Structures are given as C-alpha cells and as structure tokens.
Chains A and B, each alone.
Chain A
Amino acid sequence: MRADGRLLGLIIAGAAAVLWAVPFLWMAIASLRPGVPPDIASLTPAGPFALANFAEAWRSGDFPLWYLNTVLVCGGILVVQLVTITAAGYAFARLRFPGRDLLFVLFLLQLLLIPALLIVPNLATLVTLHLYDTLPGIMAPYCASAFGTFLMRQTFRAIPRDYEEAAMLEGASIPVLIRHVLVPLARPGLIAFAIVSVTAHWNEFLWPLMAVSSPKNQVLTVGLASFASGAEAGSAWGIVAAGTFLVAGPLLVLFLIFQRRFVSSFIFSGIK
C-alpha cells in the first residue's frame, strides 16, 4: 500500500516535471532552427539546426549593456532590501512600541495594491526626486518590501530568544545583535527572499518600461520586447526563443548551480 502510494506520487511528480519542461524544451529546439520553418511547433524536427538565431538576437540589441543594467538594478534593489527588511522585520518581531500591530497591518495592506495602480504617483515622485529616467529610479519603489518584512518578522520570531538574551548579557547592542546573532540564524529566510526578489525584478517589464526612456538605461526585458513583440504580424519564433534564452539564461544557470540550497531555503521558510 505504502509502496503504491510512493509510486503514484512519483508518477504525478514525473508528469508535472515533463509538463513543466516541455515549453523549455520547445524553446531550446525552436531557438536552434533558423528562419521560419513551417513545422515550428514540432518537438522532433528533422533540422537543419544552427546558431543563427542567437547571432541575430545578439545583434538585434545591446545585450552587454542590458545585462549590466539588469544586474545593477536587481543587485541594487536586493542590497537595499536586505538591510531594510532585516531592520523592519526585527522591529516588528521584537521591539515593543505603541501601534506596532496596526503599523504592521498597514504594511501588509500594501500587498493588496496592484502595482499598475501606483505607476503615475510613483512617476511623479521620481520626477520630484530627479530620478526619472535613471537606474536608481527603477529601484526606488522597491527599497522597502512588505513581503520581505513579513518574511523576516516570521523568521525572527521562530528564533528562540535565548540566543539574544545570551548576547545581551555579553553586552551586545541591537545592531551587533542583529548582525552577529540573528542574521546568521535567519540566513535561509534571507536567501529565500533574495531568490524571489531577484527573479521578480529580473523579469519585470512594465515598471522599467515606464520609468526609463534613454537607451543607455534599458534593461533586458524591455530590450527583448523591442525586437520580439509584434501585434500586427507574426513573429520569427526562432529569434524570439533565442532572445528569451539570452534573457532567462543567467537565472537558469544560477538556479542549476545553487539548486540544492534554494530548495532547502524554500522548505525552511515554508514557501512551497
């Protein structure tokens, strides 16, 4: 009975994995087929195969610049967020101050807003701060994260107070306590958040499209769309697939390298 259950689980998981892998497989195959072959939907084409699509996609845009900008944006957002969510998470988890729970609820309410709703007010703020059409302008709205604050509050609350009390007895101040005691213990939570944050901002399209105009500030997603999207005509699938690979590639590689750690972080933090 037990063995049967395990087999069933394996079959379901296997089927899900195949289902999930098919689009990637198709993208890989399509990206290797030059021109617009009539059987473009085929998963088992006869060929010919070539790297021409990658060359064409690479030529179609300034990929090195887009990579640099995207890395700067995602990295910049992450660094600031790690600081703010750790501090805010600690405040909501441990400090006592009047209105704490109300403030926390207000913080969480932000998760209910559709980002598109905030485009115009955010843009107006950027103009006032002289950040319109700059990379820091793309990052600005994400300096604080309601989700990250919530995640770190839960993570800190799960850590027994004994550690902190011991450190306090040794005379540690709150910043020292956070840095040397709590952050190392909360590392899986921080890693889980980092994955969510980097993936979200790497893939984001609408806000970078709104916030920057100059070609020198362009990011990968907007750049890809500039030669991949077409409303009135069909697209050359092979080039689109190759371009998508160039955009998603770094994230895929990172995931393969750190796969084990990612998975254990997610299990730890309860995100499934």
Chain B
Amino acid sequence: MEPITRRRAIGGALAVPAAAALARAAQAADPTEIDLFFPVPVQGKLADEMKKLVDRFNGEHPEIKVTAVYTGSYDDTNLKTRAAIKAGRPPAAVIMSANFVREYVINGEVDPFDPLIEKEGKTPAAYMDTFWAALKPNAVVDGKVYGVPYQNSTPLMYYSVAAFTDAGLDPDKPPTNWAEWLDAAKKLTKPGGERWGINFPGTYDYCGWITSALVMQNGGQYYNHDYGGEVYYNAPSSLGALTLLDTLVNKAKVMPPGVSDANTCTSAFFAGRLGTMLLSTGSLSFVRENMKAPYRVAFLPKSVRKAAPIGGASLILPKGNTPERQAAAWSLINWLTSPEIAGHWSRFTGYFAPRKAAYDLPEMKQYLQEHPDAEVALDQLAYAVPWFDTYNTVAVRKAMEDQVQAILSGKTSPADAAAAAQKSADELLRPYVEQTALKPV
C-alpha cells in the first residue's frame, strides 16, 4: 500500500503531465500482476497459442503482467476456481464454461462487469449488443453482466461426402429433419460395424449438450432459461428426443450402442466408418486438419423447429480481487475479446468469434470465403438457444446424462429414463427451490 500513497503525494506536488509520466514510469517499474485461469477444451496446440497471446498482451501493456495458468478441463477449471476463491486466493480472471456463470452468481462468487463498463461511458445493454444475441442469456444474470463471451460453439452435423455417395445419397442435400436423418442413416449403415450412420460423443458434458439440442429441436425448453430451479426432463419434447435416441441405437441400429467419446467419433469419421456425426463447431479446425477425404457440415437436422444450443466459455471476474487487479483484468478481457484478437482465436480454433465486429475485418471475410464450413457454423447462430444452466449445474445435468447413457446402452426405456431423470433432478434442485420459488412469504 505504501508505495502508492507516496506516488500520489509526489503526483499532487508536481505539474499534471509530469505527474502522469511519473505515474506511468512507476507503473512500468512495478506492473500489476494478475493471473488468468484457462482450460483447454479443444485440441492441444491451444495452450501454446494462449501463452503466445498473453506474451503479446504483456508486451503491449507494460503496466500489467499476466500469467496464463492452464487449469485442465472445463470441470477442473471450475473446481480449481471454486477452491481458490474459498481459500482466499481468487484469480483475477477465468475463462469459464459459459453455463457455470449462473451458479457463480447464485453463490455470490463473481463480480458484475457493469461498473467497469459504465466507467467507459457505455451502458451494459449497449455493450452486450456488440456480441451475438444468442450469447446474452448465459452471460447476463438478473439484469447484470457477469460473463464476457470469449470462445463459443454450437453442435454441428459433420458428414462424409464419400459415405454419402457410396450410400446413394446426394451430398448436396444433407438431411434437414429427423425423418430424413434416420432414412439417410439406414442407407449409410453397413452391417458388422463397418460403417455407422450416426454417432455423437455420449460422455459427460457432451451428452447433456447434444441431448438438450435434440429436445430444443423438438420444440422444448429443456430447462427454465430465466430461473435456475426448474428442468423439463419429463416433458413431451424431452420424451420425444429420448425416443429418437432409443430408435437410432436399439431399434434401427444405425448408431453404435454404448457411450462413445469424441476421439472415437472423430477417429471413425476420419477412417470413413461414420456417415454423420454431431460435434462442436470448436472442432472445425481439428477436423479440417485431419480429415483426408472430403467432408461437409450442415445444420443439425430439425424436428419441430431448428435449434442449436450455445457452448463454449466466457470470461468472469471472481470476487475478492483488489480494484487494481480488477482493472488490469478488465484491460486483458477487453483485449482478448477485441475484434482482431477474437477473430484470430476463432480462425485458430474453429470457435466462432462472439464479437460481431470481428466478422467485418477483411481477414475474417477471406477466411469465411475459403472455409464454407465456418460459414455454416455462423449461419446456424440465427437458431442458437442458450446453454443449460441451473443451480448445481453439473449434478442436475448428470441426472439426465446418466439416463441417456442407459438408453444408449439399451438398459432402460425412454419413458422410464425421462421420469427417473426428472425425479433425481428435482431432488437436487430442491434446496434452491425451497429458498426461492417455494419460500413462504
């Protein structure tokens, strides 16, 4: 604390420009040190690229010294951030799975961005308008901005041109609804596991994401977007989606039984043993680099309507940091989400850039022209819906995922699964519901 008061005292005594120069010099000599927790949710080289970005930021901002801390998967990052906040050592900023933001707000563990935005003479609403509209529900909670979207995705249907031609399907006309999808999958499937029609990762997190996509395409809400205490696992829209999965795996047998992970899906796709797969737009670069045969991407096949849930991560400000650290974190966040850097990161990863202005830059226009698959991902944003976020998000998500995995393994019926998922989710949500919606007045 002491050096700051001394600096201020000197500053007060000198003429203004000299004071400013002195303050800058003093800052340069003693930069504000902050840490950024970041997960690596997609393929490897990202950790390297993130460190390069942070080095560049540090070079351009001598008054701030950022350390990029790799913190594992989205779930590990959540765990480490929680633990660090509770232990009294909150990081200055975190790239957090976008659907965990609400829970941090419910637990009172994050600060809103509103004061920082207002300090720059903008309104929070105008600030959020610079991002794609679909990102807002996961970033704004109770009318305040708690997350700044950084890397975002939606699920996408990848399909193999060779497999389509081989099965007598027209690669220019990918299936657009569930009936066409099932029909195409039947033609694509070859016996003995030689080629499957459909697959998607059924592992935790991915499983819930894809399930919510199917339910929302089926016209459903899946969960209450405005209140963290309700899910609609046993609604007709959910039951219909679970029935589709049961049909794909156990009746039509066009999808491999059991739970596949992302590696299994991509390996099979690269090897020509998979016709269509649902995978994140965040995988675009990885697939583009490794798929030797021609492939294309298309919107998710619809049922009642077109819908694709948002995925990816936002930057958050954990509670308990000094105003200096928070101001430094805000500089970093503004820089990382600037059109130029956001566009660069998007081209490197395959994630779409959350900041709309990124797509006005010439290098981004050129990129979309060269890579029509990235353009499809962007067009699908028109149908994007928010990402599952409730009280106790992970546990409530798993309540459904466990049942979906049981369906994929042929161990339960759709009706039983929907009822069981709803029952255990209700139990997990009860503590929050009793403190909010059911609280006696």
Contact = CB atoms under 8 A, between A and B. Distances in A.
Given A38-B272, A209-B72, A226-B70, 11 more contacts: A38-B270, A123-B84, A124-B86, A210-B79, A213-B37, A222-B70, A229-B72, A230-B40, A232-B262, A234-B283, A235-B43
A30 to B, nearest CB: 11
Contact of B87 (A120, A215, A231): A120
Interface stretch (B44-52, B165-173, B211-219, B432-440): B44-52
Given A40-B267, A214-B67, A226-B70, A236 B43 contact: yes
Nearest to A133: B89
B422 interface: no
A228 B40 CA distance: 9
A232 B282 contact: yes
A133 B88 CA distance: 13
A257 B128 CA distance: 61
10 contacts: A38-B270, A39-B271, A120-B82, A132-B89, A209-B80, A213-B84, A230-B41, A231-B74, A233-B286, A234-B266
**Closest CB pairs A-B (n = 10):** A234-B266, A38-B271, A123-B87, A233-B283, A227-B44, A226-B70, A36-B290, A233-B42, A232-B280, A213-B69
A225 B72 contact: yes
Contacts of A225: 70, 72
B128 to A, nearest CB: 24
Contacts of B292: 38
B205 A230 contact: no
B43 A222 contact: no
A151 to B, nearest CB: 30
B206 A231 contact: yes
Which of B42, B44, B47, B83 has the most CB atoms of chain A within a 10 A radius of its CB? B44
Nearest to A223: B70
A235 B87 contact: no
Interface in A1-54: 35-36, 38-41
Contacts of B153: 232
Nearest to A225: B72
B71 interface: yes
A237 B261 CA distance: 13
B366 interface: no
Contacts of B311: 232
Contacts of A239: 44
A88 interface: no
A235 B88 contact: no
Given A213-B67, A214-B69, A222-B70, A233 B282 contact: yes
A203 interface: no
B73 interface: yes
A230 B72 contact: no
Interface of B: 35, 37, 40-45, 47-48, 67-74, 76, 79-80, 82-84, 86-89, 91, 153, 205-206, 262-263, 265-267, 270-272, 279-280, 282-283, 286-287, 290, 292, 311
A41 B43 CA distance: 19
B267 A233 contact: no
A159 interface: no
Report whether over half of chain B's contact residues are helix, strand or loop; otherwise say mixed: mixed
Contacts of B83: 119-120, 123, 210
Contacts of B37: 213
Given A120-B87, A123-B86, A132-B87, A227 B48 contact: yes
Contacts of A215: 67-70
Nearest to B74: A231
A200 to B, nearest CB: 19
Contacts of A227: 40, 44-45, 47-48
A234 B263 contact: yes
Contacts of A39: 271
A235 B80 contact: no
A60 interface: yes
Nearest to B87: A123
Interface string A231-257: 111111101000000000000000000
A127 interface: yes
Contacts of A213: 35, 37, 67, 69, 84, 91
Nearest to B77: A209
A161 B267 CA distance: 63
A133 B87 CA distance: 12
Nearest to B265: A234
Given A210-B80, A233-B282, A228 B72 contact: no
Given A38-B270, A119-B83, A231 B205 contact: yes
Contacts of A234: 43, 262-263, 265-267, 283, 286, 290
A126 interface: yes
B318 to A, nearest CB: 13
B44 A228 contact: yes
Given A233-B266, A233-B282, A209 B88 contact: no
A169 B76 CA distance: 58
A232 B41 contact: yes
B311 to A, nearest CB: 7
A127 B69 contact: no
Contact of A235 (B73, B263, B271): B263
